């Protein structure tokens, strides 16, 4: 059984989008820890955040996770969601980039040059700060690779699920056109109907 908490939501009759490539998949998974439609949250408390990070090999057993760590992780997640909405044509929120800057600073994120033409980003902090810093590093790596703008948040306000747009012209707007796309089209149609009915009749 595949649940909405899975990385990609599927049904028997709705095509799925491909997963994000490389380390960008970590960003996708992280944003999708909060399912807006069901209300489930995989980072709801310190134990939940610890479990999520440990399951991905990002945190050692016994590492302390505090309430403040949860607050920073959730702030990062929602800042990333805002950036993914901007990737999908929504208005840019400069506060989102500021959150990433703060997380990167706490993680002591810095480039390490590994050859004459290559480098990688590494974190200097331990614990949760270092772990979530790896998520910010994945964002930077995707920007360098040219894949970042393909990771988007669904335009359906009730959904905002992170999906990877592999279309040739990067035109994907919904996590699933047959579900969220159709819902939004119906809403737009009903708004137009209400607006038309509210207009005074043309008396010629």
The pLDDT of residue 59 is 96
What global pTM score does this model have?
0.83
Just give the CATH number of 24-198. 1.10.3300
The pLDDT of residue 200 is 65
The pLDDT of residue 10 is 44
Question: Contacts for 8-17 with beta carbons within 8 Å, 24 or more apart?
Answer: 8/163, 9/161, 9/175, 9/176, 11/179, 13/178, 14/176, 14/178, 14/179, 15/176, 15/178, 16/176, 17/163, 17/164, 17/165, 17/166, 17/172, 17/175, 17/176
Structural domain boundaries in the chain: 24-198
Q: What is the pLDDT of residues 135-166, one digit of tens each?
A: 999 999 999 999 999 999 999 998 999 999 99
Q: What is the pLDDT of residues 167-186, one digit of tens each?
A: 989 889 888 765 585 555 54
């Amino acid at each position: 059984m595949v649940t909405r908490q899975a990385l990609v939501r599927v049904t028997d009759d709705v095509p799925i989008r491909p997963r994000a490539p490389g380390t960008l998949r970590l960003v996708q998974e992280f944003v999708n820890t909060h399912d807006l439609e069901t209300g489930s949250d995989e980072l709801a408390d310190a134990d939940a955040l610890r479990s999520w990070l440990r399951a991905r090999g990002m945190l050692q057993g016994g590492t302390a996770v505090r309430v403040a760590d949860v607050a920073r992780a959730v702030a990062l997640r929602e800042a990333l969601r805002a950036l993914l909405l901007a990737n999908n044509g929504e208005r840019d929120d400069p506060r989102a980039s500021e959150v990433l800057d703060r997380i990167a600073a706490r993680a002591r994120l810095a480039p390490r040059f590994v050859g004459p033409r290559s480098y990688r980003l590494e974190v200097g902090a331990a614990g949760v700060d270092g772990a979530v810093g790896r998520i910010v590093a994945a964002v930077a790596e995707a920007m360098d690779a040219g894949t970042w703008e393909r990771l988007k948040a669904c335009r359906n306000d009730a959904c905002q699920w992170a999906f990877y747009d592999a279309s040739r012209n990067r035109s994907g707007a919904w996590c699933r056109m047959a579900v969220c796309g159709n819902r939004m089209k119906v809403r737009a149609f009903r708004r137009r109907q209400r607006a038309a009915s509210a207009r005074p009749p043309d008396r010629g």
